[in-house]
Amino acid sequence: MISSDILERRERQFGPNAPLFYDRPLHMVRGSECWMWDADGNRYLDCYNNVPHVGHCHPHVVDALCKQASTLNIHTRYLNEVVLQYAERLTGLLPSPQLDRAMFVCTGTEANELALRIARHASGNRGVLVSDFSYHGNSSGFAELTTGLPHPEPMADFVRSLKIPDPYRWEGSEDEMVAHHLALVDDAIESLTEAGFGVATVIFDTIFSTEGLLDVPPAYVQGVAQRVRDAGGLFIADEVQPGFGRMGDAMWGFESTGVTPDLVTMGKPMGNGHPVGAVVTSSALADAFTGDALYFNTFGGNPVSAAAGNAVLDVIEREDLVHHSATVGQYLQERLKDVASKFNCAGDVRGRGLFAAVELVGDGKQPEARLAKAVINEMRNRQILISKIGPADNVLKIRPPLCLGTEEVDLLADALSSTIGTLAQ
């Protein structure tokens, strides 16, 4: 039971439009591993949150945070060992020796803002390509290039949005699908060039999460990168959702595309809840930019944030979470496919590692947004937390902390089977 008092206080403080999950909102008071508890002591299995990447309140991360917060918390205009260690470890996790420079910020939005500044500086161009249902930040500038959320700002004149290939809905061959969508990229680049903006960058979440976790062929991403680079632009991989081992097969989402980005942006999972973000790029790009711009980020790279970031990397290593994500993720896919095989409305199961999507549809693959909403609310009533994504809001989104185990996958899959069985009569 949520007291009406807390709902009223929330509305008074945050207004009627502040987003809140589920028809019956949750009042949370405690978290541990992949579990959260509400004010009445009910326990919920968290299959949604990627911020508590290595598990809610992981003691190793909390200890590192507390130890550093009680020792020193200051900015990077003094020398400090902790942030150096973190930068060295983080750049060491990138698969290319050219991605050798970390620039620390506080959020994914700040990371994408900085990456955009660097891309524009390097290219001398202003134009930006984004996917046609994407979100990379909540700033004024990024609102004007957001295609996946409502915002009052008109789209910026220097933006072109790209239709992303959706293999589930494409009727022809993969080659035809890729060629068709790359022709749209050519059009967009031509349009930016004709308008005098040129191409500064394309920015992709390389697993296309907001778009519905689409299973996009690597050849498409490679073709986009090639075309953007031919036009003088750079490739930004937004790793806020796929990064830090979630994909199981690799540390970064872009690694399965065959494209090495010019700029990699990071956020949510980095500090297990502590606000940490980063841009990783080459020394050449970073130094050229900082030679002309005095870039400074007050909280970026402070030793407490760096200690939290280091501790997250420790846990990923010690608990072998990338491999864990692969094996448990494999089981998750199997169980979800098994559930989907029983219901026509579960049209497609997608994903890799510990990020899965189930697309709910009617006849002729008609998106079933209402069913998706009912499912996540009924799952919440069964104390299992998931959400939904995609342009038609009909794709179940399963993106748990990486410590999720196979027993929890069973709880999730059994509840989902029973929920869909009840609702999809």
Query: Taking CB under 8 A as the criterion, which residues in 361-420 touch a copy of itself?
Result: none
How far is the CA of 131 from the CAs of 64, 165, 196, 358, in angstroms? 38, 10, 21, 21
In angstroms, what is the minimal distance from the CB of 316 to a copy of itself?
Answer: 18
In angstroms, what is the minimal distance from the CB of 35 to a copy of itself?
Answer: 11
Segment near a copy of itself (CB under 8 A); pick from 52-60, 180-188, 202-210, 243-251? 52-60
List CB contacts of 405: < 8 A, sequence separation 6 or more.
328
In angstroms, what is the minimal distance from the CB of 236 to a copy of itself?
Answer: 12
In angstroms, what is the minimal distance from the CB of 297 to a copy of itself?
Answer: 6
List CB contacts of 171: < 8 A, sequence separation 6 or more.
none
Query: Taking CB under 8 A as the criterion, which residues in 95-124 touch a copy of itself?
Result: 101-103, 106-110, 113-114, 116-117, 120-121
DSSP 129: E
DSSP 136: -
Reduce the DSSP state of residue 86 to 3 states and report it: helix
CA 113/CA 346 separation, integer angstroms: 37
139 binds a copy of itself (CB under 8 A): yes
CA 308/CA 275 separation, integer angstroms: 9
353 binds a copy of itself (CB under 8 A): no
Q: Which of 131, 206, 257, 272 binds a copy of itself (CB under 8 A)?
A: 272
93 binds a copy of itself (CB under 8 A): no
1 binds a copy of itself (CB under 8 A): no
Neighbouring CB atoms inside 10 A of 99's CB total 23
74 binds a copy of itself (CB under 8 A): yes
183 binds a copy of itself (CB under 8 A): no
Contact between 38 and 383 (Cβ < 8 Å)? no
87 binds a copy of itself (CB under 8 A): yes
Residue with Cβ nearer a copy of itself (161 or 417): 161
How do beta strands 387-389 and 395-398 pair? antiparallel
In angstroms, what is the minimal distance from the CB of 174 to a copy of itself?
Answer: 34
